[in-house]
Structure formats: C-alpha cells, structure tokens
Structure 1
Amino acid sequence: MNTSTNSCIVPTFEDSNRYLASAVVYGLVLVVGLPLNTLSLWILLRSHGCRSPCAVLMVNLAVSDLLLALSLPLRVHYYATLHWPFGPATCTGAIMLFRINIRTSSIFITLISVDRLIALVFPLRSRSLRTSACAFKCCAVVWILIICLCIPEIMRLFNSLKQCSEIIPCFENQSRSENSKVFPISQAVFLLILLLVNIASTVVVIIVLKKRPSAGAAKVNNKMNVILIFVVNMLVFMIFFLPFTIQLLMPNENKAQVLRVLICLASVNCCLDPLIYYFSLDSFWQDKGKRQTDVGTYSLSRSMDRS
C-alpha cells in the first residue's frame, strides 16, 4: 500500500484478485438488480399504482434499490481497474448512494412489515390510518430526514477525498475518513431497533394466524403467503443488513477487507427486494383489470383490489 494521508491509502495490484472478485460481484448485482428493479417499478406503477399504502412503500423501496443499481457501474470500473478518474464529487455521490440505500431500504422494509401487521390485526380500525396519503407523507419524511442527516457525512467524505490530489482511493478505506464514532454507532443502534421490530412483527403475525381457524386450502395457502412476507423481510435484514450493522460497532483497525466484503453482501439486497413485492401484493404480476378480491384475504388485499 502507498500512503499519502491517512485517508488516501490506495490499493496496489498485489491483491488484484480480491478487487477483481468485488468487480465480479458488483457486476452480477448490476446485471440482475437493474433490470429486475426497473421491471418491478414499472409493474408497481402500471398495475398497482399508488392506491394503497403498501404499494406506495414498495415504489419508494424500488426507487431506492434502483438508485443503488445505477451507481454500481462506477464500483465495477474502480475494482476492475483500480483507477478513479471521475473526481471526489462523483466518488462521494456513489458511496452515499449505497449508504442511503441501506438506510432507506431498512426503513421502508420495516414500514411494509408494520403496514401488513396492522392490516392483519386491525383490518377495520386501521382504515383511516392506512391511506396512500399517509404513506406518501411517511416516505417524504424518510427521504428528507435521511438526506439531511447525510449532509455532514457527505461533507466529511468529500473533504477527505479532496486531500488525495494524485490518486483517489474511491470505495477503499472508507472507515478511515470517519473520525467520529457517534454517527456509525447511532446508525447501528437504529438498524438493530428496526431488526427487532421486524422480528416482533413476524412473531405476532404467526401467533395471530395460529389462533385464526383455517377454512379450506385457499385459506391455508394465504396464511403461508402472509408469513412469507414477514420472513422475507426479516431474512433481508439478518443476511444483508445485520453483518454490516455489526461491522459499524467494530474498531476501525484492520477492517478494510471485512468492510469491502460486507458492502458487497449488502448490495445484493437490491436483487432480492422484488420478492417482497411478490409476496406482499396479491397478483403482483397480473393486470389490475384481472385481479379479483378474495374474501379470505380481504384484510391484506382490499386496498390493492379496489379500482
């Protein structure tokens, strides 16, 4: 490694296989995630619109994943060539798109679980709360809050990268530019709280469904789909967000390689989020004119099936 400043430690070609592996992973995520999220967003807007709170939340989740996928070509280029010709501003933007995706995705996934939980447990009393307008307001607050909280982080990262006058080590040694422990620890605690909310929602749903009598095969199949909604949400958290969260609580020394691996892993979440859309919205792949209301699933699909 060659060193100019503490935040300008640049990679050499001695570990080129590791960087090439990162380029391959990001390339695969790009090839799968970009068309999949583009298709999902198109289906959500065309077939479901924004007529229900769940659809509104999923549209915002798809937008967040799509923004991450659009930044991946820059990561592929950097790890394939170990060269960054685009300047510190572009590097800062690409890094922050990933961080914003982690934060917004975790919030939107949790909101989807909470929305589904309320729809199942309180299908009638929640009608005034579970509206598209309310979901739009919640999503707007999430985006504004996350972007505002990221502004100091953006400034620190940009100023750190500006010190690298000759070679910009974009995406590498990102943790070295973070002098304060407050923000990483706060983010880790917040993500852990969201994980607990998802776990609690899953447990409550399983208990509620067990207490409700089954009435035929259709009813049982619907119960399984409902459980899958929460299980998929919880697994996304545990597999993709939890390792990255634990890393935030670790000391900075000697964790650059671990950070690189965990960022690759967290990026894969944008390829699996469409599973959430599939299990959460009844008849996800059908045109809105062909969908029919199922009395047995009224509490979960009434908002989707009303024209």
Structure 2
Amino acid sequence: MNNTVKDGWKPEPEPVYAAVFGCIMALGLPLNAVSLWILVRRHSLKSPNVVFMVNLAISDLLLVISLPTRVYFYATGTWPLSSAACIVTTVIFRKNITCSAIFITFICVDRLLAVVYPLRSRHLRTSSNAWKAVALVWLFLVVTNIQQSVTMSRDLKNCSVPVCFDYHHCWTPNISAAIYVKPVLVFIMLTVNVVCTTLVSWTLRSHLKDSARVSNKVNVMLIFVMNLVMFALCFFPLSIGLLTIKTTPIRPLVCLATMNCCLDPLFYYFSLDNFWKKKEDVDLAASEQ
C-alpha cells in the first residue's frame, strides 16, 4: 500500500449520507431489538435455524449501534473521538457484512437439509452443531479484526486532520492479493445460495419421497429468494466495488450494504413462525411413522 498523504484534503459535511444512515438506524434498531426478543422468548434455541437467526440479529444490532458515529461524522464533517473509537466502530460496521452473509448462508443450507433430507440430516441439524458453527464464525471475525485494526491504525496516522470512515483519502490505495479474499468469499456464499435454491425448488416440484411434505411451498421458497435478493442487493455490489475503489463511488454501495440490517427482520424473522409450523408438522409426522 502506498501511504501518500493527500495534502489539503479535509472532510466536509455530507447531509445526504447522514440522513440515509440515520433512517437505517431509526428503522433497524427497533426491528432487530423486537426480532431478537421474539426469537429468544417465543422460539426454542434448540433449533439450529433459530440459533443462526439469533446471531444474525445480534450482528445487525452491533451494526446499528455503530451508526450514530457515522451519522455525526457525515453531518458535521468532523471526528471528535479518538482513533481507537474510529477503529472499533469501523470494524463492527465492516464485519456485519461478512457475518450476515455467513449466517444467511447457514440458514439457507439448514433449510435445504430440512426440505430435501429431513430424516437423514437430523444428526447434523442439531443446536450443538449450530452453536459450534456460530462460535467458529465469531472466532474467525475476531482473529481477522486484529490484523485489520493494526492496518487501519497505521493508515489513520497519515491523516493530517482527525477523520474516520473516509480515511482512504489520506493514502493512495494499492490493490493487493488480500483485497480479493472478501469478494471471493461472498461469491462462494452466493453460489451456495443459488445451488440450495435450485435444489429445493426442484425437490418441491418433483415430490421426492425423501423430501419433506411441505404444503405451503411459497413460504419455503420465499426464504431462499430473499437470500438471493440480500446477496444481490447488499453484499455482492460492495464486494465488487472494493476492487475498483479508485474509480467507483463506494459510499452508495456502503449504504445499500447497510440496509441488510433492516431487511433481515422483515424477510426472515417475521416469516419464521409459519415456516416452523410446517417444519414441526413434518417432524411430528416423521416420528409417528
């Protein structure tokens, strides 16, 4: 990376982005707080799907909590806090994209196993395995945060004025092999979601004997379609934009990616009840055979 300071640059207020992030915060905070409360109080954490959704809600809440500083920065063009505070809020913000994409993919795979292999996958689809997978995800994020925090701290020192979020103006980015890791990871998860959606759609049409008897196929397919919408709208554009950061306006893509914390409750949590009624009926019927 070529850390060339751009002399004379200083952040300016950008009320449009402040308003966008403010609206996302105002909508995302109550939606995710209520969703998390419903998941914990009304659904069993022994269900792997609920385990993934609870952690998805926690990830979204962490993102929402980091937004007030971003709103203040874009509203005033100033950063009154320390570099450490900037690093913490930025890391929380960035990791939500990766974290949400992983948990959404876990939900997609879990639904694939529940619909296509409801009996053979029972030993895999346990709360114990779900918590182990979740623990590995959070551990992976913590480890990667350490290296990124060190790099960000070094970059912030090149800024002649207190700044956060737009600190890339203080240096000339140099594309390295490491920057391709996140787009490749997102592309792999998108591919997994496409494959799962295709297999479930084909299974529901063909009525295979080993598949679950799901009466409301629309509700089932809605989960998979919304997964693809989330990747296409929120995750993939930003991942590609990071590769062309020199020429691509990145902040509109960041705004799109941030919207995932508002879409998650609408697309997943509020459709959970009907879906799990169908799943419980399938499990009950299978246990009686």
The aligned residue for residue 133 of structure 1 is 128
Which deviates further from its counterpart, 168-177 or 77-86? 168-177
- Are positions 1:53 and 2:57 aligned together? no
Q: How many residues align?
A: 277
In structure 2, distance between residues paired with 1:296 and 1:49:
12
- Are positions 1:229 and 2:223 aligned together? yes
Q: 1:294 to 1:228 in 2, by over 3 A?
A: closer
In structure 2, distance between residues paired with 1:296 and 1:42:
21
The aligned residue for residue 177 of structure 2 is 182
The aligned residue for residue 248 of structure 1 is 242
Contact 2:11 2:78 survives alignment (8 Å): no
Q: How does 1:30-179 map to 2 (within 5 A)?
A: 30-164=25-159, 167-174=161-168, 176=171, 179=174
In structure 2, distance between residues paired with 1:294 and 1:140:
28
Q: Any gaps of 5 or more consecutive residues in structure 1?
A: 285-290, 303-307
Q: 1:178 to 1:49 in 2, by over 3 A?
A: farther
Opposite residue 246 of structure 2, the aligned amino acid is: E
Contact 2:33 2:61 survives alignment (8 Å): yes
How far 1:160 moved relative to its partner?
1.4
Q: 1:44 to 1:159 in 2, by over 3 A?
A: same
Please provide the CA RMSD for this pair. 2.6
In structure 1, distance between residues paired with 2:7 and 2:273:
49
Aligned equivalent of 2:270, options 269, 273, 278 = 278
The aligned residue for residue 263 of structure 1 is 254
Q: 1:8 to 1:153 in 2, by over 3 A?
A: farther
What are the superposed Cα offsets for residues 203-258 of structure 1, whole Å, 9 maximum, x if unpaired? 11111111129xxxx955x10000000001110010011110111222x4243xx1
How far 1:163 moved relative to its partner?
3.3
The aligned residue for residue 195 of structure 1 is 190
In structure 2, distance between residues paired with 1:54 and 1:180:
38
Opposite residue 253 of structure 1, the aligned amino acid is: K
Q: Any gaps of 5 or more consecutive residues in structure 2?
A: none
The aligned residue for residue 10 of structure 2 is 10
How far 1:294 moved relative to its partner?
4.8
Contact 2:155 2:167 survives alignment (8 Å): no
Opposite residue 194 of structure 2, the aligned amino acid is: I
How far 1:5 moved relative to its partner?
2.0
How far 1:146 moved relative to its partner?
1.7
How far 1:125 moved relative to its partner?
0.9
Contact 1:68 1:101 survives alignment (8 Å): yes
Opposite residue 144 of structure 1, the aligned amino acid is: L
% of aligned pairs identical?
A: 43
Q: How does 1:22-37 map to 2 (within 5 A)?
A: 22-37=17-32
